A and B are shown apart, each in its own frame.
Chain A
Amino acid sequence: MQGIGFDIAHMLAGSLVLMSFIQLYQQRLSALLNVFALHALVLALSVAWQAYVQNAPHLYITALIALVFKAIVIPLALRRIVIRLGIHREIENVFGVGLAMLLGIGLVALSMVVMLRVTSGADPLAREDLAFALSVVLLGLLMMVTRRNAVSQVVGFMSLENGLVLAATGAKGMPLVVEISVAFSVLIAFIVIGIFLFRIRERFDTVDMRAMDRFREEQR
């Protein structure tokens, strides 16, 4: 049981990292949103598996939150926004996909080295989980840095948060109350960001961050 449990948890966490890479690879917003939904689905599966392995029923609620909000509600809402803004075909990258992928590989290697060093002596399941979670967090950050469009920055932020949840469930530390409040804060952040996107769009006729940067230049 320990062997297969570890393997499946490892696989699911690894798939989450893979999803992050796929996100990095996507250039169009609608495809990106699909991958983000998949990302959240894998997270939900991973959390559910952790609940089963650790015999911690409250983690099922976390998994359910991830599934309902992150895999269904938020991607659907973002898709509506993107379509209403008419930017679902937009292509936007600061630099090439290849370079982003290379950087991502470097980040994963870095997080592996760091985590395996720091957590030596801990439970191997938690160690692997933490290493993967840090990779997901870093890849989410990389996504936020390398994208120009506000929507894809939001997606980067959300996937970063997925990494945090993965770390929390793997480490058996986070109480349910904190998870629920984090989930709600993400939801609220999403709502606020959604409203802002429309406001920004009204003002600038675009959600490309370069327009806002230009505006700041003039303010200077």
Chain B
Amino acid sequence: MSDAASAHHPKDLAHHFESYEQQKQSSLLGMWAFLAQEVMFFSGLFVCYVVYRGMYPEAWALGSQELDWKLGALNTVVLLISSFTMVYAVVGAQRGNRKMIVWGLILTILFGGIFLGVKVVEYSGKWEHHLVPGPHFEWHGDPAAGKEVEMFFGLYFVMTGMHALHMVVGIGIMLVMIPLAWRGKWTKNNYNFVEGFGLYWHFVDLVWIFLFPFLYLLALAGGGGGH
């Protein structure tokens, strides 16, 4: 590569790409491949859930009754709104409107924060009622089911915890993105990071769409099913 050629290489096009299109398609395909990885990560948890629900349907129903489906539904709505505000940020990036990006991200962080706040309320309630698995776990219902209900809560905390962890990471990334967006880091030609991050955020949203009925609505649906 001659020096003349590199001088014409635009700043927002990485040195190893030939065109914006190539850069964009690479970035998005990379994100989809990463999300495929995420799907497999969560699917390990869902397999555990399905196997043990099949083994202990009554305990799953009992555990699910301890969860407040109204808070879960509220969080579902909050998270869907945050996906909408994320789209707002991505559209802003497409139009090269940095104000839209920044406001979209701020609102997304806000709704993400509300979600996590509700989660904190739920978690602390479980802590107070001794429903956190471990030495302090107490079960006042059918004593025969105690161990199995504890497993339900084990999976509840791991599944929602892993989901919440993804949200915390996402909010951390958005906090870094805001000043960068304001300084004009993303251009009309290269806003791939914003779009890729949007995909990530929608994915995290989608995981919750599965978690909500699996965990909260189980009891409403008439118990653990199966037997």
Question: Does chain A bind chain B?
Answer: no
Give A contacts to B, CB under 8 Å.
Answer: none
Give B contacts to A, CB under 8 Å.
Answer: none
